Amino acid sequence: MAELKDPLPPVQELGATSGPLKSAAYFIGDRCKEFNEDFMLCKNESRAPEHCLQEGRKVTRCAQEVLTNLRAACAAEFETHWQCLEQNNHYYYKCRREERPLNTCAFTKIGYKKEIPGTTEGQTPIHEVKMPYYRPQQK
């Protein structure tokens, strides 16, 4: 039986747990938006896993780059934030105090942006609110 050669170069897995991934999620979303959109469009074309390997590998490489940059430029802030998420059931609102130094570092040292989808124009995004007021929401 002949073996098929993989035409795509292999890519390493991210090697990150849910805490670091959630901490970096908005930065990954901003930096890797085009790659993510290409991947999702490809998946709409065909549900066959091999059809979108190239696009998937681009997404993985981009996410690796974001995590590497955060670890290099903002290691302490990044670690503090994702550890907080791990300790607080991954609720962002419980880790806003730890999130602010990470955002400041990522914005100034790396040049990342953070845009929260669905934020009303003219409204201050939740991660920039100085004294957020938490209240129960009715469902």
At 4, is the pLDDT very low, low, confident or very high (cuts 50, 70, 90)?
Answer: very low
Mind listing the pLDDT tens digit for each residue in 32-51? 999 999 999 999 998 887 88
At 123, is the pLDDT very low, low, confident or very high (cuts 50, 70, 90)?
Answer: confident
Hey, what are 56's tokens?
């998937």
User: Is the CB of residue 126 less than 8 Å from the CB of residue 103?
Assistant: no
Hey, what are 46's tokens?
């065909």
Mind listing the pLDDT tens digit for each residue in 60-77? 999 999 999 999 999 999
Hey, what are 116's tokens?
């929260």
Cα(29)–Cα(116) distance, integer angstroms? 10
Instruction: Give the residue extent of every domain in the chain.
Output: 18-112
At 137, is the pLDDT very low, low, confident or very high (cuts 50, 70, 90)?
Answer: low
